[in-house]
Structure 1
Amino acid sequence: MEEEKGRREAHPLLRGGRRQGSYSHGFSSREMQSLSAICGTFIPSIPVEKRHVGSREDPPSKTIEAFYLASGSQHPIPDEVAELMKKRGLSEGVWLARMVLWMLGTRLGTLILCGGASCSWKFPFLHTFSDLCVEKREEILKRWSAQRSGPLFLPPFLRVVFVMLKIFCFFTFFSLTNENSKNPTWNAIGYSTDNDEKPSKTQRERPLQKGIIDTANQTESSLLTSLAQKGLKVTKDPSCSVYKLECDVVVVGSGSGGGVAAAVLASSGHKVVILEKGNYFTPEDYSLLEAPSMDQMYESGGILSTLDGKVMLLAGSTVGGGSAVNWSACIKTPRPILKQWAEGNKLPLFGSPDYLSAMDTICKRMGVVENCTEEGFQNQVLRKGCESLGLEVEYVPRNSSEHHYCGSCCYGCKTGEKQGTDATWLVDAVDHGAVILTGCKAERFILENNKHSKKKEKKCLGVVARSLNKNITKRLQILSKITISACGSLLTPPLMISSGLKNPNIGKNLHLHPVLMVWGYFPDSISDLRGKIFEGGIITSLHKVVADDSRVRAVIEAPALGPASFSTLFPWVSGLQMKESMMKYGRTVHLFPLIRDRGSGEVKEEGRIKYRLDRLDKENIREGLRRALRILVAAGAVEVGTHRSDGQRIKCKGMREEDFEEFLDGVTVEGGVRSREEHCNLYCSAHQMGSCKMGSIEEGGVDENGESWEAEGLFVCDGSVLPSALGVNPMITIQSIAYCLSKRMAESLRS
């Protein structure tokens, strides 16, 4: 009971709330005054009589009236925004934002950044930003968004600040919960975290508990005892700075690649240790609340971007990795891709019967089904729009039952039906004696000069890791015969580079499957399609945009968007417009085109991600956006739009075909807060691949066996080994590769 209590105190997700109270953000009173004014401009208090016709109720209910009157400047929103910025923002971005906030707290600084809007004919003639009326502040933020600043024509860093503050402000406002795990805006916008589906079976025992050591609940002495009880040999280093563990295999990361590799090797009779910096949750733990779920289960709390702010990235960071929070799509590696990798990249694995068999094995273990008996609202719209246009639409295989109607799998599947690695492969691994250390972060691989091989300069002896629990000061030195990096395309390269590897291909060739979204509004009173966008399976249908030469240009799918994520991505053009858009949240369908990107980026250092699209990528995304908008209109949307910063949209009632074509011609895909274009888009990515790709020593980070070209005994088993972008959801591909590579490792250990 004490262990369970400690575990629940350690992980806020289990309480379903969010800590409030004392703040450590360190913002000055001047900075906070400016930040509060900006939050109150993004989300102003609006008398209900000023709202436009067409809101959901007339006369408004008390909850709707309270929503319109609510302001982003109200306590504790500004302090929570500052706290989140400090915790999750890029350091230089936070520094830049704080400099702007400080300047806005002075009259001269406001004049420089805001121009004539800060002036008046009344004493003191010049005003600070917070002293201006909300209408003037709104116009200033609009100019920042469009990269137009004050009279000095400052560089476009004000757009960077605008986007950064907008994201943190709206995410906080629509996700912050009270002691009852409720947000006061949710009733007004029609959002609910209640899930009618119950766990498919009540679990008396947590499936992985017998193999888990949660370092968050350990002391240094109890950690030693726990390790010994799991059958691990532990010795203290004479310097007393580290504990040494011995095993056959150590795996860094527990997601799609790491989970499969751990299961295969443990099932082959080898002692396996898995390091996972995230925590372990089961269906009974999930709160379905956006903020704590993102904070506990995603890399950087789900607020992670490329250095130029062009792409927002989602990556799992929990036991099960991305498979625990993904959208369930289980698509096998397309045949044309297999052919290209086998022949063009000269990797025979992908043309072998072993790989095809591995995909079948993976799908069987994860319980993949081909059909869906009842689709959610967004997928109904996608299917209806395609059928109305005579376009082909396919069901998406999922690792859950065909009756699964959970729209919250992105926060962990509350019903327990989704079969991620935490419910499948890791269970197999633990059943064969594997040990999982949670809250434990790998720092570097242990490399020494290789005296026994002329082919590889280094030999990997294991990994050095530390607990994220500050009460455990000693490092863990885990010595192994085989070391596997499976911490994903964003973290494997930095870990390898910081360990001393010099291969220039490590960290390059990063592909992201970048997407832009479009939306369509379907009022309850008009549409015959029922439901809300947060209900039902997230991805159950897809449509392929195919070129004349049969090449797939884009795949159109539907996303998962909680109210906080929705508000951060949706274009802001005024406080009133944003509140009215949020009133339509539950019936505003989003679709996105996913492309197989030819452009690429790099990640050499943790959290420092660069990325660039090429010309064909932009053309394919634009064509995908145009097709998605046609689908929304054909399905009966009364209004459609893009996520371009100027709020590009068109009403469909009475719309002529030539008007719609003109609108489609105006769809642009320029992205990034540093773009020179007046109006820009913010890209998203939930798939990261290829940053330590399999290939020859001239172009790859690892060989065809997944082994480092430089260090014997160091392997990679995650999405970073993909030779190129895939073009579809990559979970099955990553697991199939990991299955084949770990089978080969087991053979090498056996021999």
Structure 2
Amino acid sequence: MIYDASTFELPMRVKADLCIVGSGAGGAAAAAVAAEAGLDVVVLEAGAFVPPAVMNQREKDMLPELLYAHGSQTTKDRSATIIQGRALGGSTVHNINLCKRIPDAILDEWQEARKLEHLGREEWAKLYDEVEELIEVSKIPEPRYNRHNQLLQAGTEKLGWQGGGLQHNRTGCIGSGFCDVGCAYDAKNNAVKVFVPRAVDAGAQFFTHCRAIEVVHSGGKVDGVKAAALDPRTRNSMGTILVDAPRICLSASATGTPAILIRSGIPDASGMTGNNLHVHPALVAAGEFDEPVHAWKGIPQAYECTEFLDLDAAHPGKKPDKKAKARADAVGLRTWLIPAFAHPIGTATILPGWGEDHRELMQLYDHLAVFTGMVHDQTPGKVLPKGELGVEIEWWPNEKDRRELTFGLARSAELLFAAGAKRVFVPTRPVRVLEPGDSVEPLEKLELEPGLIDITAVHPMSSVPMGDDPQEAPVDSRGKHHHVDGLWVADGSLFPSSIGVPPQMSIYAMGLHVGRAIADE
């Protein structure tokens, strides 16, 4: 069953065999397999249950329901925006449904560095096969490309760069274009549609508007979870819920999970908890076209330019020769170029300027295309708890990542001009406007500093990295904590590094993997 914790008589105490914190890709998948194995499962979710019937395709209504801080969560110094889901189903409710596997070069690097006994290439391949079947992954047909994606394809082909179509997990998609505010047509094969019903049918209970505060533990083992029932309007605590359980699985995201671990005083000999955050940062450029683009219509992201994404070269192995090492250190191997359009509120927050200047840019909305360069980042950031319920994020790109970001910005502008843009707007402060024939190289040479241009990230990960040596990692390759019995992690926190691809399939895989490990033990 799915219950709204804000309606409970508080304080409340319940018992379970397993308490899972978070209902996104990792938590929902873990709940399904654990409940089907016979465990009595309770899942705590800070957000609401937002069914397709109430998804009205209005940003002002849906962003507060689906995203932390209405989509404006930032790092501590406000230099980067970190977008994360907060609803039953987590970020799978608002994401753009892109499906990719972690490249073998990265998996091999993890094996070399972390000795992941329970999670080698073969195990990953089996998990990916299962996930792809469950969420019905398929390639987006070229006739479904909207004008926005066609422009990226045209620019890529004109420049002779490498590119191609993307895979997604939609069934019955009508191309409404409102994926990022929830699909009112229930075409997303997301956690709510695929895994939550399985868990509920097996007896699992989901408590929405219920945010975990800390893991209760003593004598080296878990006793349960202390949580707060949240007022749906203010998000403030209404009272306490205690879940007594001998097994706890944290699937609260790469920001929520480490914050809970640190707030709970969970020991970590490696010191890595909260200290290895990666985010896939990105910068955007917008192009004005003579003809209407109507970028909000249709599947938002269907085509990719991979000319500057060579993750095999970026990960040459443990002992590369000089040539391979020099190649790995080069700029232009870690940038993924994709469309990045937004609805009016999202666009207004990205476009620069004030007053009349900003209004003039917004009046071009119908004629804008926006491309972005997302970076497979190397910079380790930090997550800390903030008060009883909040998190604090510290992340700013190192020199290599700054160079890769500005490289991606320049290539985005180059693609826009190649596709036929008559002007390109770069949302720096002040705004830069480029005309056809202008060099984009000054963009590559920008010296990034906080406040110059907005960095956006939608894939936080790696903040509780797995590894089988307790001196190097907080959890092992099954997701089991090294120092506290009964404690597990099943979300993107587990990745030892940035993965360079959309993470949803890999997080589903972690949920299945860890959920089964819990049930087996």
Name the TM-score, length of structure 2 as normaliser.
Answer: 0.90
Structure-2 residue corresponding to 1:464? 226
State the structure with more CA Rg: 1
Match of 1:533 among 272, 295, 299: 295
Tell me if structure 2 keeps the 8 A contact 1:259–1:320: yes
Tell me if structure 2 keeps the 8 A contact 1:341–1:350: no
Separation (CA, whole Å) in 1 of partners of 2:447 and 2:196: 42
Match of 2:160 among 370, 390, 401: 390
Pairwise CA distance, 1:594: 1.0
| 1:448 and 2:218 aligned | yes
Separation (CA, whole Å) in 1 of partners of 2:443 and 2:3: 55
| 1:426 and 2:196 aligned | yes
Tell me if structure 2 keeps the 8 A contact 1:374–1:403: no
SS of the residue corresponding to residue 30 of structure 2 reads helix
Which runs of no fewer than 5 residues in structure 2 stay unpaired?
A: 315-332
Tell me if structure 2 keeps the 8 A contact 1:263–1:426: yes
Match of 2:287 among 498, 505, 520: 520
Structure-2 residue corresponding to 1:345? 114
Structure-2 residue corresponding to 1:629? 413
Pairwise CA distance, 1:476: 2.0
Tell me if structure 2 keeps the 8 A contact 1:309–1:672: no
| 1:603 and 2:383 aligned | yes
Q: 1:729-740 to 2 correspondence within 5 Å?
A: 729-740=502-513
Tell me if structure 2 keeps the 8 A contact 1:544–1:553: no
Separation (CA, whole Å) in 2 of partners of 1:474 and 1:562: 36
Q: Which amino acid aligns with 1:358?
A: L
Match of 2:466 among 673, 694, 710: 694
Separation (CA, whole Å) in 1 of partners of 2:239 and 2:455: 41
CA RMSD, Structure 1 to Structure 2 (Å):
2.0
- % identical aligned pairs: 26
Structure-2 residue corresponding to 1:586? 366
Query: For each residue in 1:200-249, what CA deviation from the matched residue of structure 2 results, as whole angstroms up to 9, or x when unmatched?
Result: xxxxxxxxxxx111123x251xxxxxxxxxxxxxxxxxxxx843311111
Structure-2 residue corresponding to 1:684? 456
Tell me if structure 2 keeps the 8 A contact 1:338–1:350: no
Separation (CA, whole Å) in 2 of partners of 1:417 and 1:510: 32
Q: 1:10-159 to 2 correspondence within 5 Å?
A: none
Tell me if structure 2 keeps the 8 A contact 1:672–1:682: no
Structure-2 residue corresponding to 1:569? 350
SS of the residue corresponding to residue 410 of structure 2 reads helix
Describe the shift of the 1:681–1:242 C-alpha distance in structure 2 as closer, same or farther (beyond 3 A): same
Separation (CA, whole Å) in 1 of partners of 2:120 and 2:257: 26
Structure-1 residue corresponding to 2:32? 263
Match of 1:506 among 273, 278, 282: 273
Tell me if structure 2 keeps the 8 A contact 1:295–1:301: yes
Q: Which amino acid aligns with 1:646?
A: P
Name whichever structure is richer in helix by fraction. 1
Tell me if structure 2 keeps the 8 A contact 1:407–1:560: no
Query: For each residue in 1:348-401, what CA deviation from the matched residue of structure 2 results, as whole angstroms up to 9, or x when unmatched?
Result: 444242221111111111111112331123211111111111222121110103
Name the TM-score, length of structure 1 as normaliser.
Answer: 0.63
The structure with higher relative contact order (CA 8 Å, sep 6+) is: 2
Q: Which amino acid aligns with 1:609?
A: I
Describe the shift of the 1:670–1:564 C-alpha distance in structure 2 as closer, same or farther (beyond 3 A): farther
SS of the residue corresponding to residue 408 of structure 2 reads helix
Query: For each residue in 1:18-72, what CA deviation from the matched residue of structure 2 results, as whole angstroms up to 9, or x when unmatched?
Result: xxxxxxxxxxxxxxxxxxxxxxxxxxxxxxxxxxxxxxxxxxxxxxxxxxxxxxx
Q: Which amino acid aligns with 2:199?
A: A
Tell me if structure 1 keeps the 8 A contact 2:101–2:506: yes
Separation (CA, whole Å) in 2 of partners of 1:274 and 1:639: 50
Q: 1:236-251 to 2 correspondence within 5 Å?
A: 242-251=11-20
**Structure 1 range deviating more: 539-548 or 404-413:** 539-548
Structure-1 residue corresponding to 2:248? 483
Pairwise CA distance, 1:692: 0.9
Separation (CA, whole Å) in 1 of partners of 2:474 and 2:35: 26
Q: Which amino acid aligns with 2:414?
A: R
Separation (CA, whole Å) in 2 of partners of 1:625 and 1:427: 42
**Structure 1 range deviating more: 558-567 or 281-290:** 558-567
Tell me if structure 2 keeps the 8 A contact 1:594–1:728: no
Query: For each residue in 1:235-265, what CA deviation from the matched residue of structure 2 results, as whole angstroms up to 9, or x when unmatched?
Result: xxxxxx8433111111100001101100110
Tell me if structure 1 keeps the 8 A contact 2:107–2:121: no
Tell me if structure 1 keeps the 8 A contact 2:102–2:500: no
Tell me if structure 2 keeps the 8 A contact 1:410–1:560: no
Structure-2 residue corresponding to 1:378? 148
SS of the residue corresponding to residue 711 of structure 1 reads coil
Separation (CA, whole Å) in 2 of partners of 1:212 and 1:513: 33
| 1:645 and 2:463 aligned | no
Match of 1:399 among 166, 169, 191: 169
Tell me if structure 1 keeps the 8 A contact 2:87–2:93: yes
Query: For each residue in 1:576-634, what CA deviation from the matched residue of structure 2 results, as whole angstroms up to 9, or x when unmatched?
Result: 32211111012211111111111121011233111121222122222222222221111
Structure-1 residue corresponding to 2:184? 414
Structure-1 residue corresponding to 2:329? none
Structure-1 residue corresponding to 2:124? 355
Pairwise CA distance, 1:666: 4.1
Tell me if structure 2 keeps the 8 A contact 1:641–1:650: yes
Separation (CA, whole Å) in 1 of partners of 2:22 and 2:498: 21
SS of the residue corresponding to residue 424 of structure 2 reads strand
Pairwise CA distance, 1:469: 3.7
Structure-1 residue corresponding to 2:323? none
Separation (CA, whole Å) in 2 of partners of 1:670 and 1:434: 51
Separation (CA, whole Å) in 2 of partners of 1:404 and 1:698: 50
SS of the residue corresponding to residue 607 of structure 1 reads strand
Tell me if structure 2 keeps the 8 A contact 1:671–1:683: no
Separation (CA, whole Å) in 2 of partners of 1:414 and 1:690: 32
Structure-2 residue corresponding to 1:310? 79
Separation (CA, whole Å) in 1 of partners of 2:121 and 2:334: 27
Describe the shift of the 1:214–1:547 C-alpha distance in structure 2 as closer, same or farther (beyond 3 A): closer
SS of the residue corresponding to residue 168 of structure 2 reads coil
Query: For each residue in 1:392-447, what CA deviation from the matched residue of structure 2 results, as whole angstroms up to 9, or x when unmatched?
Result: 21211101038541311111011110111011011111111111111111111110
Separation (CA, whole Å) in 2 of partners of 1:242 and 1:439: 14
Structure-2 residue corresponding to 1:202? none
Query: For each residue in 1:101-139, what CA deviation from the matched residue of structure 2 results, as whole angstroms up to 9, or x when unmatched?
Result: xxxxxxxxxxxxxxxxxxxxxxxxxxxxxxxxxxxxxxx
Separation (CA, whole Å) in 2 of partners of 1:637 and 1:215: 51
Pairwise CA distance, 1:724: 0.4
Structure-1 residue corresponding to 2:4? 214
Tell me if structure 1 keeps the 8 A contact 2:301–2:340: yes
Describe the shift of the 1:254–1:497 C-alpha distance in structure 2 as closer, same or farther (beyond 3 A): same
Structure-2 residue corresponding to 1:134? none
Separation (CA, whole Å) in 1 of partners of 2:392 and 2:517: 33
Tell me if structure 2 keeps the 8 A contact 1:693–1:723: yes
Separation (CA, whole Å) in 2 of partners of 1:500 and 1:475: 19
Q: Which amino acid aligns with 2:433?
A: R
| 1:254 and 2:23 aligned | yes
Describe the shift of the 1:416–1:547 C-alpha distance in structure 2 as closer, same or farther (beyond 3 A): closer
Describe the shift of the 1:579–1:342 C-alpha distance in structure 2 as closer, same or farther (beyond 3 A): same
Structure-1 residue corresponding to 2:66? 297
Q: Which amino acid aligns with 1:368?
A: V
Tell me if structure 1 keeps the 8 A contact 2:287–2:423: yes
Tell me if structure 2 keeps the 8 A contact 1:320–1:420: yes
Match of 2:43 among 257, 262, 274: 274
Tell me if structure 2 keeps the 8 A contact 1:489–1:688: yes
Q: Which amino acid aligns with 1:591?
A: F
Pairwise CA distance, 1:465: 1.5
Matched length: 491
Separation (CA, whole Å) in 2 of partners of 1:331 and 1:547: 14
SS of the residue corresponding to residue 689 of structure 1 reads coil
Separation (CA, whole Å) in 1 of partners of 2:432 and 2:508: 40
Separation (CA, whole Å) in 1 of partners of 2:165 and 2:212: 39
